[in-house]
Amino acid sequence: MPGNRAARDAIIPFIEAAQRAGCRHVVYVSVFGADRARFIPHHHVESALRNSSMSCTLLRCSFFMQNLHRAISTHGDDIVDHDELFIPAGRGKTTFIDARDAAEVAARVMTDPRAGHADRVYHLTGPRPIAMSEVADELSRVLGRRIRYANPSLIRFARRLRRREVGWDTVGFMCAVYTLTKLGLNQQVTDDVQQMLGRAPRTLSTFLEESAWRWTDRAWT
């Protein structure tokens, strides 16, 4: 989840250094809509790659399931401390993808560079769009207690994250992603994972069952 500052000060200079060092191909994990949303860091990284002399493969991923227990998102703290999913996405749905599926696709691309992946864009999603209220219901099932979907305003959401000292870049990016979700712009389903791996992507239910211990032990990633 790079911020605009990280994109400007670290990732884009890294791309330039890779080009000078003779790198010929880059695989970049991006997000849906990065080609259009100029206000997110992934847009600038994708532009830098396209303007370089290197070929690239863009893996535009939907919302990672692992974000529910990442330290940077603090969603795990809300689930454990408040029994709530504190995400400002309204009734919007998103196609959660397990980061392990995205990693497997990336490995395929990097280990088989002659398979026509150069300058390709893949959109990686889970099997179906899911509303945050359903995510809360699934969390309730696997954790054995009621987890409520809070659906805060953007202002309440930003204030809580800032109290936890989450950086403004990260807060802004998360607000943008959840606003797009609320507007129904993050519910596209593709078969790119199926085509690349020869199997269906993992489901959210399976992921939550396998990861329940993380909320019990506060084992954030």
Q: Please name the residues in contact with 100: beta carbons below 8 A apart, sequence gap of 6 or more.
A: 202
Cα 94 from Cα 84, distance rounded (Å): 18
Per-position pLDDT tens, the chain of length 221: 556 777 778 889 999 999 999 999 999 999 988 888 787 888 999 999 999 999 999 999 999 999 999 998 899 999 999 999 999 999 999 999 999 999 999 999 999 866 789 999 999 999 999 999 999 999 999 999 999 999 999 999 999 999 999 999 889 889 989 999 999 989 999 999 999 999 999 999 999 999 999 999 999 99
Residue 64 pLDDT: 97
Closest C-alpha to 25, from 53, 47, 61: 53
Cα 68 from Cα 59, distance rounded (Å): 20
DSSP secondary structure, the chain, as one string: ---HHHIIIIIHHHHHHHHHTT--EEEEEEETTTTT-TTSHHHHHHHHHHTSSSEEEEEEE--BGGGGG-TTT-HHHHHHHHSEE----TT-EE--B-HHHHHHHHHHHHH-TTSS-TTEEEEE--SS-EEHHHHHHHHHHHHTS--EE----HHHHHHHHHHTT--HHHHHHHHHHHHHHHTT-S----SHHHHHHSSPPPPHHHHHHHHHHHHHHT---
Phi, psi of 95 (to 5 degrees): -95, 80
DSSP secondary structure, 164-178, as one string: TT--HHHHHHHHHHH
Domain ranges (residues) in the chain: 4-217
The model's pLDDT over 82-102, given as tens digits with 9 standing for 90+, comes to 999 999 999 999 999 999 999
Residue 38 pLDDT: 80
- CATH number for the region 4-217 comes to 3.40.50.720
Q: What is the largest CA-CA distance in the chain?
A: 54
Contact criterion met (CB below 8 Å) for 213 and 105: no
Closest C-alpha to 27, from 69, 68, 61, 3: 61
Contact criterion met (CB below 8 Å) for 130 and 170: no
